[in-house]
Structure 1
Amino acid sequence: MNKVVLIFTGGTIAMKVDQSSGGAIPTLTSDDLINTLSGLGDFNNLIAHEYSSMPSPFITPNNMRELADIVEDYLSKDDIKGVTVVHGTDVLEETAFYLNSTVKSNKPIVLTGSMKNASELGYDGLTNLVSSVKVCLSDESIGRGVLVVMNDTINSSYEVTKTHTLSLDTFKSIEFGPLGIIDQDEVIYYRNVSHFKKFSLDNKINNQTHLVKIYAGISNDYLEHLINTGAKGIVLEALGRGNVPPNLITSIDKAVKAGIHIVLVSRCFAGRVLDTYAYPGGGKDLTNHGCILGGSLNGQKARILLMLAISNNLNHNEIKKLFKI
């Protein structure tokens, strides 16, 4: 019998408006949500695992590490077809990417949540749960890595990002589009991810990997502080193709010589970084100083991958190969 595990972490999907506080707070339990789905065809064989009732901003890499162990354990069982992690949307893409980087099983793993709480008209939580279970039950979902299912669309955790603070259609793969859709009872895939990587790194973390967004006129104080407080890795969300103001070069050079791994990604929504420009602070100049190109990953995912790479004791060349697309 094929069973799907629903791991509940919390988020808007489990919230209602509290009149005394005037805002949405955690209210619904996993049983509340499961009972709503019970008796509906494919939804008789669900297993509920209540991990937490945390809003998305409460989730840390340590929680992601624990979730990866839980998911891996469930997927090792023969009667488990797949796992859906029910999650708040704010850092959902980071948890999805973390699981994609560490869980070794090829069985379907889906992350979902909702943009509206259960007190609002148009509450999307139950629809997203139903769609996620269907994706887990589809044989076509096997071997596609960790997926994000929202608003009847299927996206790769490698590509997807949250694009809007309100829209139900917030999770998008900006450059390439969704992998597929859920149309009533049918799970339909339109494409594969040709550049997809399932990293299968050991499930280890550190708290010394950081993300810095580059902007016009940025001081090198941020980098100097990270160097002086024991940073192991820094992701620079750089300008354009992977460029930074020239005043940062001294601190970047200092960091690299101190053994701190620096990865470059772009603050642009689409496109990859490349060492095109050789002027001081340009991408070519930065790679000559020992920086690593982060491909088309966004800053938050690159930080997750660099954190895992450092925790897995990969050297500079191994990390460079890891990020290469």
Structure 2
Amino acid sequence: MGVQSVRRGRRHGARRRALVAVTAASLAVLAGCSSDDSGDSGDSSASIERPSSSLSDASSAASPSAGGSSSTEPVDGPLKGLRYVALGDSYSAAPGVGQPTGPDGCFQTDGNYAHLLAARYGLRLTDVTCSSATSENLTKAQALNAPPQLDALTADTDVVTLGMGGNDEGLFSGLVTTCGRLGFGGGGASRPANQRCADAPRFAEPALTRELQRLTQRITADVRLIRERAPKARIVVVGYPQVVPASGGCERLPIAAADLPFAHDLNRRLDAAVRRGARAADALVADVWTATRGHDVCAADPWIAGVVPEGPAVPLHPYAAYEQAVADLVVDLLT
């Protein structure tokens, strides 16, 4: 190998290591809204002042850079005037996609599916989604003035969406940081052939399977808690998208090609665990996994940002097109 090739390889490895560091830092920032009993219980209701444009068909949704809105009157229909509470983590909060709303530190924006739904169909929204939220934060405050999310529910609540679980026990962040560091932390191709993400202690079996089983049980318990506080509400549990491709990696995603099958399968198992828990509690389920097929981080039309977003979003989190697609799924379930 020539000197120039060696230098290019070193620069390439350094860039990949930098991308892993950027991703880890972004996840750490989003985790700044971690559980904290000291959180104040201020008003967390979302104020809808900028109605979104009409929700488009998922297959023709906006490009990654889309995130604008227009003045559109709400559609007359069965959802108009219903009291709607949105619960969830950063995939529901949509950090970076729109204008900031909600408590400081939650990175919630008016580009999320809850705001799109409320603006287009005239629901009366209380949005308490918050980045880094776990199932624990349904009943326990997060830092930076984010009260327990279930505090937003009342006996008069008509519709509830729940989108969380990926942060429980650090599963999603563990997938990104562990596989990313193994993939490119040592320059990618130069790592030992037997050093695989699947073999990392974080993902050891049977502990991983038990962790996913606990997630299913928590989602079931979460739905039952929601039903206790909002007995007449229709509850929609929103699953997780296809973030990792099954094959054919790319620079947007800091996971080595050899680890993609494992990472993709873990992504799938996370979503499946959430959906099983929802169905066990007789909740409606928004099948985000199926809807995002062909729109993973490495796809030609990604709905999830890579480590360096190509439009309004934060690393490894949804673009506007994803939020619009989820809004369409929820409407289809409710009407």
- Indicate the structure whose relative CO is greater, using CA pairs within 8 Å and at least 6 residues apart: 2
The structure in which a higher percent of residues are strand is 1
TM-score normalised according to structure 1 size: 0.28
TM-score normalised according to structure 2 size: 0.28
